[in-house]
Structure 1
Amino acid sequence: MNVGIVGCGNIIAQYLATLPALDALRLVAVADIDAARAESVAAGLPGVRALSVQALMDDDEVDLVLNLTVPAAHAQVALAAIASGKHVYGEKPLAATTAEGREVLEAAAAAGVMVGSAPDTVLGTGTQTARRAIDDGLIGRPISATATMMCPGHERWHPNPDFYYVPGGGPLLDMGPYYVSALVTLLGPVASVMGAASHTRSERTIASGPRAGDAIPVSTDTHVTGVLVHESGALSTLVMSFDAVATKAANIEVHGETGSLIVPDPNHFDGEVLLHRLGGDGWETLPVSGGYIDSGRGYGVQDLALTAPGQEPRAGGRLAFHALEIMESVLQSAHTGRAVTITSSCERPSPVPLARPAVAAH
């Protein structure tokens, strides 16, 4: 597939480090509302053209739009790509709201194009090795999980962090997709949620870049706790915070009747998976047994390109929509004090065999 990227901000560097190695993809164009930024990116990529956003949408050479815009623009750009008959893969979350996300999926179904969404970290060897351990019965019937992300906020390193502190941002909508997508991959879809949330400061101070010292307003929750009730009956506890200094808690733990797993950081593609067996002497490191090897951001785009027509990509729109509804519902529960039923569901994505991308096609 020929790929055109819309959005040339910070995250594009991680995709550009990976895309040249993915043989099912070819980057042909980039675009940004700041034309100079697109031209700067294209200048370092032989054969890649800098276009306006509309020109990229209209370009017949582009098969798939890789949407790397800010969350508030995700749905607008995705819908424009779909209207132009192009597949679309976006950064997380799928959209700023479930209403927008539903519109994207309905438009894609009507147009006969595929939708994919980050995070594709769940396709790496870390989460997939844990998935294999659960599927192989190494912990028995899964009972519960915990997922924890605690940090003091992205304004400490990001030069333009404003979008993290408006609706559609915050720790849950920003970092939650990694954790919720991993939990659904490991334990299956979610039936209902309960939540609580707070924020400690009304403004944040940028610590790096040309705007260092500038204060930005905060209009979204910055500490969120949720309980996810999976359709299987397993319970997951989620804690996402931009208000904490640090934590030593494992990013994800999964507990079953006969064992417990420590799952690596779902913001990374690899990492050690640890197993403690009932009656065992301690934690053991499991051999890598699943996932795309040495992967990085962009492997979800390749996975989509290798997906047969009519099938759902592993990092697909349905999983992303389900994760978005889960997160939005946690916030709704936090503000109403009531449990919220999740109306969507999704198939637990098929496991990724331990393989290079081309071998793991499905």
Structure 2
Amino acid sequence: MAETVKAGIIGCGNISPAYFAAAKKLELLEIVSCADLIGQKAEDKAEENGVKAVSVQELLADPEIGIVINLTTPQAHAEVNLQALHAGKHVHCEKPFAITREDGQKVLALAQEKGLLTGCAPDTFLGGGLQTCRKLVDDGWIGKPVAGTAFMCCPGHESWHPNPGFYYLRGGGPMLDMGPYYLTALVNLLGPVKRVAAIAGRKANERLATSEEASGQVLPVEVNTHAAGTLEFRNGAIITLVMSFDVWKHGNHPIELHGTSGSLRIPDPNCFDGEVSVFRAGMDDWETVPLSHGYTDNMRSIGAADMAYAIQSGRPNRCSGEMAYHILDVMLAFDESSETGQHIDIASTCEQPAPLPLDLPAGKLDE
């Protein structure tokens, strides 16, 4: 086995336990330290996971750290990414990659200048559910993909999240919060997006938090909370996508993909597992397909581990900054299309990430 790449986490909030837990199951990636602007949060996570609690400055200055895992809030992603790159670290961040194209471009440019890798969540498309779907599409089970639907609809986060306010500020909303899961799953299956046509809006300019920790707080809403649109992919597929915090309940499947010879039901892209089913000509109904790949637990950190493999081998990392920037470009196009009443051509592009090999031993990402 190649030498372990050591990583440090900046941002010890709600998602960090999943990163700490998954990293312990993955070869080549070792989380050795963590930092947070609220020092007690870092102390708590360090004690729970047997790592060092340090300041952000100490983490960035540590020559042992090869990868910074940036789990800060969306508004800070680009700033922390830039700090990590200036410190000579590769950086993998939570989604979204940035909240403006300008900031995303700055991160990519600095990484290229310094010869460093950038990466971004979600890495759920590397889980067994979505990798099984990728194999089915690649192997031609549904023929040439021509159409599809994707739905993420819920009433918002104020009823359960301890700090829901940032979900409704610039950089939040259903598109930038949940859109990365759905769009990354689709780019993994279909390749990059060509253009977008959309309408977006919001049901209110304020929301009332009812979660135990934030109960009674009035939450300003700066972003659209319902977006509906159509994406044309460069391979010709046309996908209808709805992202909403304005829906109490719905019965739509998370993602369906329809091809020239069959249809595919794709599981929730916010998960690593899920049921995969196929319908082809001559069948009476959908048939469940056994998962072809592993990594069906909550394996957040798998994208950072894949970056460690990329550092060691020189191959591209699957959760690349270039793909994350393309996803950001597409997401921002929804509001722009709604405001202008026009199709928005997507200027960016990216490589479709390589599928995972079959029969990988636990903990490995390359054969």
1:123 aligns with 2:126: yes
Q: Residues 1-362 of structure 1: matches in 2 within 5 Å? A: 1-46=5-50, 48-290=51-293, 292-294=295-297, 296-307=299-310, 308-354=312-358, 355-356=360-361, 358-361=363-366
- Structure 2 residues without counterparts, runs of 5 or longer: none
- Rounded Cα–Cα distance in structure 1 between residues aligned with 2:335 and 2:196: 10
- Residue 19 of structure 1 deviates from its aligned partner by 1.4
TM norm structure 1:
0.97
String of CA shifts for 1:286-323, please: whole Å, max 9, x gaps: 12123545451111111111125543211111111111
- Rounded Cα–Cα distance in structure 2 between residues aligned with 1:356 and 1:148: 33
Cα contact 2:9–2:69 (8 A) shared by 1: yes
Q: Any idea what SS the aligned residue of 1:155 has?
A: coil
- Rounded Cα–Cα distance in structure 1 between residues aligned with 2:330 and 2:238: 13
- Rounded Cα–Cα distance in structure 2 between residues aligned with 1:339 and 1:89: 32
TM norm structure 2:
0.95
Q: Residue type matched to 2:122 in 1?
A: P
Cα contact 1:194–1:228 (8 A) shared by 2: yes
- Rounded Cα–Cα distance in structure 2 between residues aligned with 1:112 and 1:151: 41
- Residue 357 of structure 1 deviates from its aligned partner by 5.7
- Rounded Cα–Cα distance in structure 2 between residues aligned with 1:171 and 1:295: 22
Cα contact 2:143–2:260 (8 A) shared by 1: yes
Cα contact 1:129–1:291 (8 A) shared by 2: no
Cα contact 1:292–1:356 (8 A) shared by 2: no
Q: Residue type matched to 1:315 in 2?
A: C
Q: Do the aligned partners of residues 23 and 310 (structure 1) sit closer, same or farther apart at CA in structure 2, a change above 3 Å counting? A: closer
Cα contact 2:26–2:364 (8 A) shared by 1: no
CA RMSD of aligned residues (A): 1.4
Q: Do the aligned partners of residues 309 and 249 (structure 1) sit closer, same or farther apart at CA in structure 2, a change above 3 Å counting? A: same
Q: Residue type matched to 1:318 in 2?
A: E
- Residue 54 of structure 1 deviates from its aligned partner by 1.3
- Residue 205 of structure 1 deviates from its aligned partner by 1.5
Percent identity, aligned pairs only, is: 48
Runs of 4+ in 1 over 4 A off after TM superposition: none
